[in-house]
Amino acid sequence: MKHRQQPRNLTWSILFALLFLLSQDFLFWNGEIHTGPWGFPLRVFYFLLLQGLLVALLVGFLAGRSGNDDPGPD
């Protein structure tokens, strides 16, 4: 069980690290200004999307980990 858990943890770690990398905004660092709905810069929607992705990742990652309320062995 522990052996199967480790590759899965690695996958989740990579996904979270990738999201962090995307938040560094290096793709659009020197980009031109584009505005979207309500006149907000598109960059604001990009970060809204990243935060939505973070919630989705957390939901997936934490699913199945909440059932164990037993503090476990010493």
Partner 1 sequence: MLAGNNFFYLMIGAYALLTLVISGYSLRKEKNTPEDYFLAGRRVGTFVLFFTLIATNFSAFFFLGFAGAGYRIGYSYYGTMAFGTAFVAVAFYLVGSRVWKAGQRHGYITPPELIGKTLNSRSLELLYLGVMVVFTLPYLALQPIGAGYIISNLTNGDIPYFVAASLVTGFIVLYVYLGGMRTVAWTDVLQGIMMFTLISAALFMVAGGLGGLEQANARVLELEPGLFTARGLHDYYTPGKWFSYSLLWFLSVPMFPHIFMRFFIPNSTAALHRTITLYPLVTAILFLFPITIGVLGHIDFPALEGKQVDQVLPMMLAAYTPYWFEALVMVGALAAFMSTMDSQLLALSSMLTRDVYQRGFRPTASHRAQVLTGRILVAVLALIGLALAWKPPATILEIATHAFTGLAVLFPTTIATLYWSSTRPGACMASILVGEALLLGYATDVIPTTWSFGFLPVVPILAVSTLILVIGSIRRPLRRKIRE
Does 16 interact with partner 1 (rule: CB under 8 A)?
Answer: yes
* Tokens of residue 61, six digits: 């990652």
Give dist(CA 60, CA 70) in Å, integer.
Answer: 21
What is the chain's alpha carbon radius of gyration, rounded to the nearest angstrom?
A: 18
Does 6 interact with partner 1 (rule: CB under 8 A)?
Answer: no
Widest pairwise Cα distance in the chain? 56
Between 11 and 28, CB nearer to partner 1: 28
Residues that bind partner 1 (CB under 8 A): 16, 19-20, 23-26, 28-31, 33, 35, 37-41, 43-44, 46-48, 50-52, 54-55, 58-59, 61-62, 65-69, 71-72, 74
